[in-house]
Chains A and B, each alone.
Chain A
Amino acid sequence: MTAPPASHARHQLDDVIHSPIRFSIVAALASVDESDFATLRDSIEISDSALSKQVTTLESAGYVKVRKGYVGKRPRTWLALTSRGRTAYAKHLAALREIAGG
Chain B
Amino acid sequence: MNATHSANSGHDTDAAMDARAALEQAQGANLSSDRDRRVHGFALAGFGLVMAAFLALSQYFDGRAGTIVLGFYVVALFLLAAWQKRAAGTVPLGSRQLGWVGMGLSVLFMLASIIWLNIRQGDNRAAGIGEQPDAWWAYALAAVVTALPLLVTGALVARGGRR
Contact = CB atoms under 8 A, between A and B. Distances in A.
Contact of B96 (A10, A23, A34): A34
Contacts of A93: 23, 26
Contact of A24 (B25, B91, B96): B25
Given A27-B26, A39-B31, A102-B12, A32 B19 contact: no
Task: Give the interface SS of chain A, mostly helix, strand, loop or mixed.
Answer: helix
B32 A31 contact: yes
A31 B93 contact: yes
Contact of A40 (B23, B25, B31, B85): B31
Task: Give the interface SS of chain B, mostly helix, strand, loop or mixed.
Answer: helix
Q: How large is the interface on A (under 10, 10 to 19, 20 to 34, 35 or more residues)?
A: 20 to 34
Contacts of B30: 31
B29 A38 contact: no
A79 B37 CA distance: 17
Interface residues of B, number: 25
A32 B86 CA distance: 17
Contacts of A97: 19, 23
B16 interface: yes
A30 interface: yes
A30 B86 CA distance: 22
A35 B95 CA distance: 13
A33 B93 contact: yes
Interface of A: 10, 23-24, 27-36, 38-40, 43, 71-72, 93, 96-97, 99-102
